[in-house]
Structure 1
Amino acid sequence: METYNNIVLERLPKHLKRYVVAQRYERYTALDQALWRYVMRQNYSFLKDVAHYPYIPGLKKAGLSIATIPNLQDMNDSLKLIGWGAVTVDGFIPPAAFMEFQAHRVLVIAADIRQLEHIEYTPAPDIIH
């Protein structure tokens, strides 16, 4: 399991590490990047006026950009400054495992991104969720 030079991830219990998958950033296509930008712009346009104030600055603190799909190394570089980490998983994981990751200060992110036909909503977890 890649730890991205983040002590939070290095300390994860072995039974949680089995859910972690590699992000494989190079597999995201130009269409995937465009989908990310579209959905994030839509979210930002709505949330900038209705979300609790720290939400928008929090995106940057977490290493997220509207322009590109987040890279786990960049996210972990940002998150480790506040004692958190991030990992990618393959879709759904058991709710108890999800909550345990949170207890260990680790954000769980699905590695996949929705397809064009599900641009508005996808029933499966994806990196945008």
Structure 2
Amino acid sequence: MSAGPSLVAGVGFRRGAGSDEIAAIISLALVEAGAERGQLAAIATAEDRAGEPAIREAAGAFGLTVEGISPEALAACDDRVPTRSARIEALRGVGSLCEAAALASAGSDGRLVLPRIARGSVTCALAFRTETRHRPVG
């Protein structure tokens, strides 16, 4: 992996998940991808969950804010999402919320570097952002 912030962590979580659980899976995803903490440029999730304290606190632990991804932007990435969860497809219209959120935040040239991993009530995927500037979401 190259140096500098270029990775987006897409996160899905059930109500009741704690900030420590969210931060732990993001850290695990970075380790599994062979990436450093400083390469993390953004944390993204569904826009209706982005304001929840647990994910905001977890993002703060990485010195980041949460990017809320609109349902339309999530759906636009579904054809690039390799993981298929029937439950998430029924709820969100995408195979994997965390993969779609990571890809949407990473932009049209973004690519997954770590497909969905799951621990407890949290999922995380990492996408590589080819441009380091902030991209509008939604």
Instruction: Give the alignment's TM-score, normalised by structure 2.
Output: 0.27
Which has more helix, going by share of residues? 1
Which has more strand, going by share of residues? 2
Instruction: Give the alignment's TM-score, normalised by structure 1.
Output: 0.28
